[in-house]
Structure 1
Amino acid sequence: MAASVQLKETLHLFHVDTLKPEQETILKCLEDKKDCMAVLPTGYGKSLPFQLYSVMLNRRSPAKKVVVCCPLIALMQDQVQKMSEIPEFRAAYAGSSTATDVKIRDGEVDLIYASPEVLVGDQDWRESFRKLDVDLIVIDEFHTIATWGEDEDGSQKTAFRKWFSYLGELRPLCPNATLLALSATCTVKIRNRVMKVLNLNPNETKEIMISPNKENIKIVAAKVVNDIEEAMLWITDGVADLGQNFPKTLIYCNSITDSSKLYSYLIDELPDCTSVIGMYHSECTKSSKDNILCELQKEESPLKVIICTDALGMGIDVVKCHSVVLYGGSKTIIDLVQKIGRAGRDGENSVALILFNQYNIRQADGYVKDILKTKDCRRSALLSAFDRDGHVQETSASEKHNCCDICASTCTCEECPMLKLEELFTSTGENISEMELSESDEDTESYNLSDYEDESYMMQHMDNLDV
């Protein structure tokens, strides 16, 4: 009875009335000291159970700490800010300031966020965490262990951020801690890899899995020409015509170079609309990034088009955003699902527009290639990567127009809705979506991927951690 009363009181602090069944299961695992791996869709509220638990734990045992391994500073900032609203509770992330770091080491912070580079890559921090009474370790966005860490086969390819592969060392550093692994995207292969890295026993770990299918997001893909200005002309025309009425849209690019090039192009072409357009990547100033994050939290904001890289990614709650453009597609199915999931977090009808050229196809993994090349249903092709039971539920005939562009072409309802972004692209894109997918394009341009693959670059910019 006392526990239920405490939970009810804590839920009130988070302005939540009840928990979803999967959230309840996670919280029960934490209370029972049972390891848990949960894969829940974007916007589902994966963080709430451990945040609730950390507050209740603090009320019962103030000396005990919860440590959250988090891949991006933007995500840490977002969650720390939200937790700062809880009275008599202290949350912070390692590296935010010298004063904060001292408080963390002295045990004055209840919920501690840190990157893998801090948690296992820094010997001083390792010793500090070993001295704390850590009750729970949370690995947030655990798929990054497989996608950003070292390859399991021991290949010589440089890891994007190698310390993701060593997070299993947290177990002996904090032997009494329960482990919770969270993600919105997890293929069967990644699940097996993460279980091994984190030293999780499949027979003793509670697994909670929900399909990453976001039925409210229509998936549209089209092949475009290599020239950014020509491929994105429809955006320029749309912003020029609609201004503040342009739908809030995230445009993801695969490199800082591409995002900067597209931003410069739009600003040059639309000098009277600069307040509508923003850019977010790891090399932007802190004040600029903070301003973008602030504007994205508002239902109504003058900022309508945000050109960004993966730096604006996992766990960021973008309010009232129903349009996402993936310029260049994605190299992996995990990145693709993460980017698509930025749209429609409120459950409203949304669209994800994937624009790609032949170079992008050659760089993509097999799952992404299947989505781009399929002649059937893009949603089914996407879900096949996460299907553990050998089947994917088909979209009902009455929902085909909201499924993907291929299914929409076969819909017979004669009242197919189309969001403004797709309408703009369709009306100005002519026939580029129907360009033949050849084996090679003679005019394919080269992309500089060194920013993502060179470890020395990463170490020079590790203060950002949001590349």
Structure 2
Amino acid sequence: MEEACLLDEAFTAVCRKFGIAALRREQRTCIEAVTRGEDVFGSFPTGFGKSLIYQALPTVAETLRRKRDPIVVVISPLKALICDQIEWLRSKEVPAAAIGVSNADDDLIQEGKMQLVYGSPEKFLSNDKWSSFLHLPHIRENVIAVVADEVHTVIEWGCSTDKAKSAFRPWCGRVGEIRALLGKVPLLALTATVPLKFRAKLILQLGMPACKQIISSPDRENVRTVVRRVDGDIEHVFAPLIDALRAKRHNCPRVVVYCKSTDTCSLLFTLFQSRLGDHGYHEDKSERLVENRLFAMFHSISAEATKANILLSLKNAEGTIRVIFATTALGLGVDIKGLYTVIHYGPPCSIEEYQQELGRAGRDGKPSVSILLWNRSLGRHVRSEMDQFLLQSSQQCHRKLMLAHFLEKNVAVSKVCGTHDCCDICAADCICGDCPLYWGTSIVNVSSLVRDDVVNCWTASKKEVLASELREYVFEIEGHEGIQFLPEYVIHQLVENAKNFCHPRDIPSFVDIPRNACIDAIFSLLTRVLEQTHI
């Protein structure tokens, strides 16, 4: 009873310190388990408040009188995330610092004066100074928890599925060793996106087989999803967004456009620059300076100063930058203010990446929209589960497809499934009478961005060209002399079902294709015709 009262007192102190009304039930459960010395694996949706769980631990330990100088060691793979959190914690007068950033901070860390000590897996494990730090008696005595944040990167970045290739960041795969260096200290592992099939593997790799698992659905109920095929004319696809930015300037709702490559980021940046001219700059600022431009691009090879300036603008809902073209470099842990529309120009590599990136929108809980635009060319180089999602997304609820990737079947459902608040598939079947409201809440009208003339890639003229080229396709049959042409009924099947082909292996499902016809060659022909913009 006394313990429960002390915990309530501790939670009240946390709310007072961080300026919140109350902790979520799952946050309290995680904190209680860690204070009991249990390992905890927590999976919660983006924008849930995962970081508050471990940021609250020193305050809780002090209130429970467990430690006078409590320390939480936080392992995070992301420099930008670390910097943001430290800045915020210091604004709340919480002693926090990252290892290896400044001599002054390093001295305070070594003395045990910082309550939250941040660092990357590489810095803690590959640097003798900081691995030795974990052995210091006064540090070991006061560390109350080790936190592995964004823990899905242990497998995604720290392990390689291809024996011929090394992992992207191999030290990420050894995060569990940091807890081992500290001895018997609880490990708190947190993420938003771990596929169900990898969860057990990840828990074992972290060395926490008996951990308490607290799993919430990764579903972002306030984010509607739209998936549409588009043609290969990038200017055609983005004309509505260019028009919106030209008309509204700094009043244009903020939009992030995720691209599959730095080249595509550059292409879109150049397109907007050429089409907008003076209209691409803040109208209240006379000079055409970089800091006055309404759009920007953010990727791994952007200069650090450029990244810092962009992130500074994105932290302010009224910041100058209204449209940002980005790769996955603008990803985990970035809190973009006033963002209610995320566009993917081409599908992300994986369902996890897709869930993370659409979760950048509406982190304050306001209605938002995620729009995935794709075609065969953009749909290359994705994992099998994303390939399947693309195949099924034209007929099945997007949310159900995604949740099945993360949760057991009996809980892979959302209360918004089947309503116009869910996805464009559910919206098409909704009969509530308020459905038109669905299409008016995004940047530019969603129906404008994915208008029929863009979505319907297979125009009559393209079908005619396709049929003509298919009639010229020839192949050989072993044991028979001469070449063979495709039968007219096969050509008809190919033309009428072209919209259903995302991969060569889809063709036999819709077409009675001759056994010796090369489906890869036919698929390449289909793709070439589809992406001809002059037809």
For normalisation by structure 2, the TM-score amounts to 0.76
The residue correspondences of 1:312-323 to structure 2 (distance < 5 A) are 312-323=330-341
1:154 is displaced (CA, Å) by 6.4
Specify whether residues 396 and 303 from structure 1 end up closer, same or farther in structure 2 by C-alpha distance, changes over 3 A only. closer
Q: What is the identity, as a one-letter code, of the residue corresponding to 2:212?
A: K
* Residue 181 of structure 1, aligned match among 186, 189, 202: 189
Which stretch of structure 1 is more off in the superposition, 404-413 or 17-26?
404-413
2:106 equivalent to 1:101:
yes
Name structure 1 gaps, 5 residues minimum: 445-467
Preserved contact between residue 143 and residue 190 of structure 1 (Cα < 8 Å)? no
Specify whether residues 212 and 428 from structure 1 end up closer, same or farther in structure 2 by C-alpha distance, changes over 3 A only. closer
Q: RCO higher in 1 or 2 (8 Å CA, sep ≥ 6)?
A: 1
Match of 1:208 in 2: 214
1:343 is displaced (CA, Å) by 0.6
Which stretch of structure 1 is more off in the superposition, 251-260 or 434-443?
434-443
CA root-mean-square deviation: 2.4
Q: What is the identity, as a one-letter code, of the residue corresponding to 2:357?
A: K
1:124 is displaced (CA, Å) by 3.1
* Residue 333 of structure 1, aligned match among 351, 357, 363: 351
What SS does the aligned partner of 1:92 have?
strand
| Distance (Å, rounded) in 1 between the aligned partners of 2:383 and 2:22 | 40
What SS does the aligned partner of 1:47 have?
helix
| Distance (Å, rounded) in 1 between the aligned partners of 2:271 and 2:166 | 33
Match of 2:158 in 1: 149
| Distance (Å, rounded) in 2 between the aligned partners of 1:51 and 1:372 | 39
Preserved contact between residue 39 and residue 208 of structure 2 (Cα < 8 Å)? yes
Match of 1:464 in 2: none
The residue correspondences of 1:94-173 to structure 2 (distance < 5 A) are 94-131=99-136, 132-133=139-140, 134-151=143-160, 155-173=163-181
Match of 1:292 in 2: 310
2:323 equivalent to 1:305:
yes
| Distance (Å, rounded) in 2 between the aligned partners of 1:278 and 1:199 | 42
Match of 1:453 in 2: none
Q: Percent identity?
A: 31
Preserved contact between residue 281 and residue 312 of structure 1 (Cα < 8 Å)? yes
Preserved contact between residue 237 and residue 449 of structure 2 (Cα < 8 Å)? no
1:226 is displaced (CA, Å) by 4.2
Specify whether residues 358 and 173 from structure 1 end up closer, same or farther in structure 2 by C-alpha distance, changes over 3 A only. same
2:442 equivalent to 1:420:
yes
* Residue 8 of structure 2, aligned match among 4, 7, 10: 4
Preserved contact between residue 216 and residue 350 of structure 1 (Cα < 8 Å)? yes
Match of 2:201 in 1: 193
Preserved contact between residue 329 and residue 354 of structure 1 (Cα < 8 Å)? yes
Preserved contact between residue 50 and residue 190 of structure 2 (Cα < 8 Å)? yes
| Distance (Å, rounded) in 2 between the aligned partners of 1:191 and 1:176 | 23
Match of 1:218 in 2: 224
Match of 2:289 in 1: none
| Distance (Å, rounded) in 1 between the aligned partners of 2:359 and 2:245 | 23
Preserved contact between residue 80 and residue 334 of structure 2 (Cα < 8 Å)? yes
Bigger Rg, which one: 2
2:45 equivalent to 1:36:
no
Q: Show CA shifts across 1:131-190 (max 9, x none).
A: 232321111111111111213x56222312111111121132111321001011121122
1:92 is displaced (CA, Å) by 1.2
Specify whether residues 94 and 265 from structure 1 end up closer, same or farther in structure 2 by C-alpha distance, changes over 3 A only. farther
Specify whether residues 223 and 423 from structure 1 end up closer, same or farther in structure 2 by C-alpha distance, changes over 3 A only. same
1:390 is displaced (CA, Å) by 4.4
For normalisation by structure 1, the TM-score amounts to 0.87
* Residue 393 of structure 1, aligned match among 413, 437, 443: 413
Which stretch of structure 1 is more off in the superposition, 312-321 or 357-366?
357-366
1:364 is displaced (CA, Å) by 1.7
Q: Show CA shifts across 1:73-113 (max 9, x none).
A: 111111111100233x3111223334333432343322111
Match of 1:449 in 2: none
The residue correspondences of 1:337-348 to structure 2 (distance < 5 A) are 337-348=355-366
Preserved contact between residue 145 and residue 164 of structure 1 (Cα < 8 Å)? yes
What SS does the aligned partner of 2:144 have?
strand
Q: What is the identity, as a one-letter code, of the residue corresponding to 1:276?
A: L
Preserved contact between residue 188 and residue 386 of structure 1 (Cα < 8 Å)? yes
Match of 2:507 in 1: none
Q: Show CA shifts across 1:294-349 (max 9, x none).
A: 32232323321122222222222222211001122210111000001011112211
